[in-house]
Structure 1
């Protein structure tokens, strides 16, 4: 019996054919945001996305790109609302760190996103900067994974 059958979940690289499934668990993409949908399709096509899943299907996904000063950057971390609090985000971040091909791995989140900040800090990520101007009135906090 596999871990997935035992009610646990696994993390693996997402395939291009799974883009629509990942769009379905991403609230912004599912509401019809074409840019997010296109990004998810591109991440899957380019092999940049990993998916966490259990026997019921996908629980969340993560995308790592290498366009941030040629370093790894967790561009997106999305956990389905029904799967939050189960360690899915932590496992996805760990998978991103394990697969990162550059010396440094960064991510960012809005100041208003307290749950993401707690997740990053619990997992050893260090705040390294603050950027104003991306989302009006909600600065972006940048983090570095201390591996």
Structure 2
């Protein structure tokens, strides 16, 4: 599989693996970490030290990052996707998701988003991620939808998804975007997963529920 990591995704934006030296800059562009959340800052430092983050940047600096881990039944999982507030609506989120799919070393790559996180779910569907299941009970009254990357083997036709829940999610997408037209490409997101991660889910605005950002990404 050809890796997009360390390859420019267009004439100005490139994606590479984070190094230990990147965590202060990621802390600066991450609203939750920038607000002083010690847990998020500690996670960012670990992700950089362990080279689990992919960083998008151009000549102006870091534009966003995503975290690719293998804690979800030994399959790849996009734990968090975050785009700097000033870099949204430029396709950064789309590029990061594609880079994660290309860089995975497992047969499959998953992520998830809360049912309420319409911007993130629209981003995932727009970029070809397939809904493969739903889990209740992670966040009270807000089910978690799981997705499989476009580069992964397709799920069987009889995949055990909850059709009613997925229909509900589709119906919600038909309404007006509550985020006021948040960039589908850069819904910053993803909630830090329940796949073994302590982080809460992110909002399309770039925040998590518990971890809270202000919007959220996979996940809230």
What is the TM-score with the length of structure 2 in the denominator? Answer: 0.62
Match in the other structure for 2:117: 113
Structure 1, unaligned runs of 5 or more: none
Identify if the C-alpha distance between structure 1 residues 66 and 19 changes in structure 2 by more than 3 Å, giving closer, same or farther.
same
Bigger Rg over Cα: 2
Match in the other structure for 1:93: 97
The correspondence for 1:64, drawn from 65, 68, 79, is 68
For each residue in 1:100-131, what CA deviation from the matched residue of structure 2 results, as whole angstroms up to 9, or x when unmatched? Answer: 00000000112222111111111110011112
SS of 2:64's partner is: strand
Structure 2, unaligned runs of 5 or more: 1-7, 152-220
| Structure with the larger helix share | 1
Q: CA RMSD in A?
A: 1.5
- C-alpha separation in 2, matches of 1:10 and 1:32: 28
With CA pairs under 8 Å and 6+ residues apart, which has the higher RCO, 1 or 2? 2
Please tell me whether residue 102 in structure 1 is matched to residue 115 in structure 2. Answer: no
- C-alpha separation in 2, matches of 1:27 and 1:138: 23
Q: How many residues align?
A: 143
The correspondence for 1:23, drawn from 13, 16, 27, is 27
SS of 1:112's partner is: coil
What is the TM-score with the length of structure 1 in the denominator? Answer: 0.91
Which 4+ residue blocks in structure 1 deviate beyond 4 angstroms? none
Please tell me whether residue 34 in structure 1 is matched to residue 38 in structure 2. Answer: yes
SS of 1:138's partner is: coil
- C-alpha separation in 1, matches of 2:37 and 2:117: 20
The correspondence for 1:79, drawn from 83, 90, 97, is 83
- C-alpha separation in 1, matches of 2:137 and 2:38: 23
